[in-house]
Amino acid sequence: MTDARAITDLRTRFQADLAQSTTSRELQTVRDRYLGRKGGVIAALMKEVASAPAGERPALGRLANELKRDIDLAIRERRTATGVGGQATSTVDVSLPGRGAVIGSRHPLTALREQIETIFARMGFTALEGPEVEDEYHNFEALNMPRDHPARDMQDTLYLAEALEPSAPPGPHNQPRTLLRTHTSGMQIRYMEEHEPPIRIIAPGPVYRRDNLDVTHTPMFHQIEGLLVGEGVTMSDLKGTLEAFLRELFDPDTKVLFRPSFFPYTEPSAEVFIGCLFCDGAGCNVCKKTG
C-alpha cells in the first residue's frame, strides 16, 4: 500500500542509486529502473496511487508527480554536470545536411469545422464569418440579455482595455463597449439586420470566456450555431435538422435526446444530448457513467 512515507523512501533509494552511478550506462540503467514506461518504479507507483482511497488520492498523486519530475531533473543535471552521457564534439560533422522540414497537416479542429460546414451545406445552410471583437449590443442586448444579466459581468466576460476605462461606461446602442465575443450568436443578429427571410445560416468560430484553464475549461473554445427563419418552420424542423446532422457527423445509429430548457433568446428552447459513443449507453468514464 502506498503512502507518503513510502514515496519518501523511494526518493531516498533513488538518491542512493544516483550517487553510485558514474558512467553513462549506469545512469541509463537508473533512469530505466525508475522512469521506464514498462516495469519502472514510478509507473508502478502511479498504478498504486490510482487505486488508493479517494480521499488520499490527490495528495499522493501530487507527491508521486513531484518525485517523477525530480528524478528526471536530477538525472539530467547529473549528466550535464559530469559530462556523463554527453556526445563528444569530435563526432559532430557540421558539413552534413540538416534535417528536412516536416510537412504539416490540417489541424483537427480545422478538419472538424470543415466537416461540419460540409454537412450543413448539403442541407442548404451557408457558413458565416464574423468579428471576434464584438460590441455589447450584438453580443448581449439584441439577444435579450440586459445590462444586469450575470453573463455580462466582468468576472465572466473578457472586455477590451478601453471598455474598462471610467470614461467608457456602458453606453447606448450607438456607443457600446467592446469585448471578445462569448458566443457566435452576434453573427446571427448582424445577418438578420442586413437580410430578409428566408434565412438558413450557421455561425462557427472561436469564442471567449473568463475561465481558468483546466482539463474541462479553457478561456477560448469553438462554437457553432445555426439559424433557420421562414414560413412554416416548426420545432420539428429543428429536431430533424439536428438529428440528421449528429447522425451524419458521428454514427447513423447515434441516440439523440431533446430535453426542454431555458435560453433567454429562444422560445421554446431545448437542450440536445447524444448517447455515449464510447460505451454505447452502458456508462463509462468518458460520459461520467451517464450513458
Domains of the chain by residue range: 4-84, 108-233, 234-291
Structure confidence by residue, pLDDT tens digits, 15-25: 898 888 888 88
Nearest to 222 by CA among 239, 210, 209, 206: 206
CA angle 25, 87, 97 (to 5 degrees): 135
| Class of the CATH domain delimited by 108-233 | alpha beta
Q: According to the model, what pLDDT value does residue 246 have?
A: 95
Structure confidence by residue, pLDDT tens digits, 194-218: 999 999 999 999 999 988 888 888 9
**Contact in structure between 139 and 183 (CB atoms under 8 Å):** yes
As a whole number of angstroms, the distance between CA 287 and CA 291 comes to: 6
Structure confidence by residue, pLDDT tens digits, 221-252: 999 999 999 999 999 999 999 999 999 999 89
As a whole number of angstroms, the distance between CA 184 and CA 196 comes to: 20
Q: According to the model, what pLDDT value does residue 164 have?
A: 47
What's the whole-model pTM score?
0.59
For the cut 60, the answer to whether the pLDDT of residue 172 exceeds it is: no
**Contact in structure between 130 and 189 (CB atoms under 8 Å):** no
